[in-house]
Amino acid sequence: MTMPLRFTVLGPVGVTANGRPVCVDRPRRRAVLAYLLLHGNQVVSVDQLIPAIWGGTPPSTARAQIQAEISALRHTLRRAGCPTGSIHTRPGGYLFELAADQLDLTTYTGMVELSREDRTRGRLEAARKLMREALALWRGTVLSGAVADFVEPNRERLEERRLADVEWLVDLELLLGQHHEVTAELTRYVAEYPLRERLRAQLMVALYRAGRQPEALELAREGRRIVAETHGLDPGVRLRELELAILRQDPSLNLTGSATVRPEGGGDVADVPDVTMPGARDGRLCPAQLPAAPPVFAGRDGELASLVTCLGSRPGRPPQAAAPRLVLLSGMPGVGKSALALRAAHAVTGEYPDGQLYVDLGGGRTRRAGPVLAGFLRALGVTTAAMPSAPAERAALFRSIVAERRILLLLDDVSSVEQVQPLIPAAAGCAVVVTSRQQLDLAGACRHVVAPLTEEQGVAVLTGYLGTGRVAAEPTAVGQLLRACGGLPLALRIASSRLQTGRWIADLVTLLRDPRHRLDELSADQATMRGSLESSYRLLSPPAQLTLRRIAMLPTPSVPDWAPAVCARLTPRAAARALDELVQFHLLTVQPRDEPGPNRYVLHDLVRWYALTSTADEPPESAPARASADPGACGWGVLAWEAARRSGAPAVRPVTALPAGHLFPPEELGSSPTR
């Protein structure tokens, strides 16, 4: 009989069947289980799991070990009463199928959302109880019992989420007059997290309302001392203003001055105000959401200056211009679009004093515009109660709010025009920077294709990471490393990370010399060149994927436009669409030509080796199709065509309907290619 399985990550990683624990007996096995649970109902590839488990130094047997752990987990789940197991093999990896109530983290998320909804509608006591129940699901150190590289970053992320929810709950309980009840709990939290200013401020309010003003002021002085000793800074605005309010016994700190609480079920109310911010002032919120610009940035000064000109004050721009400035940066994976965009955005923040908004739209993990707009509106001061539910209404409200403001938006890793269009304001005083892996059809955009770095630019980037001495000491190895990385900043960053241990550059070049393993060597922490390329490859249509794999087999530096029709057995129309799609995604480059003839396309070396090593994910094909894609046969045909073209022979007509192994009729080539 099938037993209900439950999984936990908010504490020890584990499994229970009918309330009884199921033994998952190895730390690495628990780590694989935890990673699959955190990515429940998503396909996870082995290439994702390997760096997640071992970081940048996986063993040579990593792939086999992952497969063994998956097999063992399936066996464990079957023995626990799940006949077919919850881990399914899918094209490209594994999928852990989870019901909504099977994982404690999913249950927690649902309860938190319901609690916040209760608070929005004025059901404050119901919201408090539900959040308390949700927080009770946390049972100690998150992801304990799992040992892997991904554990600590995810543990910190989840712990930050828990603390934010605790702070939300405490604000609610202070609003409900429960300052006596929360004092002991807040005292423990402040002792454990002495630098977390919001918790300290909440405890100060609770002590003040309990008639313990001296203790509240001592808590403020202690916070100032800890921040100064730890970071050499003054405390934030929250603590400074709260300390002054306590000294002058500001009436806004009193419970009756904080908010008016409506009866349970009394209809929608605005979000409960932050009770630790006394004397709230009217005025606009000016969000500053841009992430930090990358510390190493070199070789693109001219491009940066051009983008700053597009985004900054332009003398020739008419004051009555009816549209915002719009800049589109596109380019192949790993070419440095986001880094360039961030540099440009930070350089012009002074031109946009009303705020800067940022969102990573996820590329292949497409995020819809509705939730993104909700985040932007909250950052601009819209409360949850005033938030429209329909995406179109949110977009209209967003345009209305920013109509008279100068705001800069950075929309990173956009996957489609439909995704980004609702996020673009109509105000002429605003500016929008869009980065994308593909050439989007954004009307009115200042377009910039980010190309791989030249050798000179690559040397400048490596010098920024490694220093002048190390780069100058191995000039030959530096040139070889630049060629192996194909001028991609991401590859250079990963390579530089691997060289931080003191390894000689020449030693890393030796590891990168075999192109079959180059992509696997270009991985460090959570960054991998293979993963970056795979995220674009997965967005392609099947004919474009097949075309990329087939033309990667060809031995010529460039390929003609008829090659997909021959090697991938596509019709001329389908071949043209596939090539256009690959160019749109910057996975192929059109070669300039000075004379009439077929278009020719160039494949980046790292894209070629990704395509050649991704054949394990190909769908099953017929024997003739496999034979026609044989690299020897493809190479024979293309080289013969090239030889005929160079010799001035009559134009060759490639055909697609030939027996396996023959791409061109010998009589059309004029002579045998073997003579």
Q: Are strands 325-330 and 431-436 parallel, antiparallel or unpaired?
A: parallel
The answer to whether residue 289 is domain-embedded is no
Q: Distance between CA atoms of 105 and 138, rounded to whole angstroms?
A: 9
The answer to whether residue 182 is domain-embedded is no
Q: Distance between CA atoms of 570 and 581, rounded to whole angstroms?
A: 14
Instruction: Let me know whether 2 and 82 are in one domain.
Output: yes
The stretch 610-629 carries a mean pLDDT of: 55
Higher pLDDT: 250 or 661? It is 250
User: The dihedral of CA 645, 647, 652, 657: what is its sign?
Assistant: negative
| The pLDDT value given to residue 84 | 54
The answer to whether residue 227 is domain-embedded is yes
Side-chain-side CA neighbours of 655 within 13 Å: the count stands at: 12
* Ramachandran class of 443: left when φ > 0, alpha when ψ lies in -120 to 50, beta otherwise: beta
Helix/strand/coil (H, E, C) string of 246-268? HHCCCHHHCHHHCCCCCCCCCCC
Residue in the structure block whose two tokens are 């679009």: 337
CATH number (domain holding residue 142) = 1.10.10.10
| The pLDDT value given to residue 647 | 44
Contacts of 338 (CB under 8 A, 6+ apart): 412, 413, 435
**Are the CB atoms for 544 and 581 separated by under 8 Å?**
yes
Buried residues in 206-237 as b, exposed as e (16+ CB within 10 A): bbbbeebeeebbebbeebeeebeeeeeeebee
Among 626, 635, 607, which residue's Cα sits nearest to residue 548? 607
Last residue of a domain, one of 466, 501, 533: 533
Q: Is the pLDDT of residue 259 over 60?
A: no
| The pLDDT value given to residue 108 | 93
CA angle 224, 226, 232 (to 5 degrees): 80
Provide the percentage of residues in the chain whose pLDDT is more than 90: 28
Contacts of 257 (CB under 8 A, 6+ apart): 251
pLDDT digit string (tens) for 299-356? Answer: 888 888 889 888 875 444 444 456 789 999 999 988 999 999 999 998 888 888 888 9
Lowest-confidence pick of 25-39, 513-527, 633-647: 633-647
Last residue of a domain, one of 228, 243, 278: 278
| The pLDDT value given to residue 553 | 84
Instruction: Let me know whether 464 and 529 are in one domain.
Output: yes
How many other CB atoms are found less than 10 A from the CB of residue 626? 12
Instruction: Let me know whether 489 and 401 are in one domain.
Output: no
The phi and psi torsions of 329 (rounded to 5 degrees) equal: -105, 120
**Are the CB atoms for 582 and 547 separated by under 8 Å?**
yes
How many other CB atoms are found less than 10 A from the CB of residue 530? 24
Provide the percentage of residues in the chain whose pLDDT is more than 70: 82
Q: Is the pLDDT of residue 172 over 50?
A: yes
The answer to whether residue 288 is domain-embedded is no
**Are the CB atoms for 28 and 83 separated by under 8 Å?**
no
Instruction: Let me know whether 172 and 125 are in one domain.
Output: yes
Among 165, 161, 182, which residue's Cα sits nearest to residue 173? 182
The answer to whether residue 329 is domain-embedded is yes
pLDDT digit string (tens) for 112-162? Answer: 989 988 887 888 899 999 999 999 999 989 999 999 999 999 999 999 999
* Structure tokens belonging to residue 312: 């900054």
Residue 421 DSSP symbol: G
Instruction: Let me know whether 469 and 415 are in one domain.
Output: no
Instruction: Let me know whether 33 and 112 are in one domain.
Output: yes
| The pLDDT value given to residue 674 | 32
pLDDT digit string (tens) for 49-95? Answer: 999 999 888 999 999 999 999 999 988 888 877 655 578 888 888 99
Among 28, 13, 12, 33, which residue's Cα sits nearest to residue 77? 33
Q: Is the pLDDT of residue 427 over 70?
A: yes
Q: Distance between CA atoms of 525 and 53, rounded to whole angstroms?
A: 10
- Model confidence at 364, pLDDT cuts 50, 70, 90, reads low
This model's pTM is above 0.85: no
pLDDT digit string (tens) for 455-488? Answer: 999 999 898 888 888 889 989 999 999 999 988 9
| The pLDDT value given to residue 151 | 92
Residue 630, judged by CB atoms within 10 A of its CB (0-12, 13-18, 19+), counts as middle
Q: Distance between CA atoms of 273 and 383, rounded to whole angstroms?
A: 10
Count of residues in the chain: 675
CATH number (domain holding residue 401) = 3.40.50.300
Q: Distance between CA atoms of 476 and 481, rounded to whole angstroms?
A: 9
Instruction: Let me know whether 26 and 165 are in one domain.
Output: yes
Helices (H) and strands (E) in the chain, counts: 29, 16
Instruction: Let me know whether 116 and 250 are in one domain.
Output: no
Last residue of a domain, one of 230, 247, 278: 278
Instruction: Let me know whether 319 and 221 are in one domain.
Output: no
Instruction: Let me know whether 593 and 467 are in one domain.
Output: no
Higher pLDDT: 24 or 265? It is 24
- Tell me the residue range of the domain where 205 lies: 197-278
**Are the CB atoms for 423 and 369 separated by under 8 Å?**
yes
| The pLDDT value given to residue 669 | 28
What is the average pLDDT score of the chain?
80
| The pLDDT value given to residue 222 | 92
The answer to whether residue 674 is domain-embedded is no
Higher pLDDT: 590 or 674? It is 590
The stretch 514-524 carries a mean pLDDT of: 82
The stretch 567-583 carries a mean pLDDT of: 86
The answer to whether residue 284 is domain-embedded is no
Among 652, 664, 661, which residue's Cα sits nearest to residue 628? 661
pLDDT digit string (tens) for 387-400? Answer: 888 888 889 889 88
| The pLDDT value given to residue 317 | 46
**Are the CB atoms for 21 and 35 separated by under 8 Å?**
no
Instruction: Let me know whether 392 and 425 are in one domain.
Output: yes
Instruction: Let me know whether 625 and 487 are in one domain.
Output: no
- Model confidence at 261, pLDDT cuts 50, 70, 90, reads very low
Q: Is the pLDDT of residue 559 over 90?
A: no
Strand ranges for 102-256 from DSSP E: none
Strand ranges for 205-355 from DSSP E: 325-330
| The pLDDT value given to residue 279 | 41
**DSSP one-letter string for 9-55:** -SSB-EEEETTEEE----HHHHHHHHHHHHTTTSEE-HHHHHHHHHT
Q: Is the pLDDT of residue 35 over 90?
A: yes
The answer to whether residue 202 is domain-embedded is yes
* Total tally of structural domains belonging to the chain: 5
Q: Is the pLDDT of residue 238 over 80?
A: no
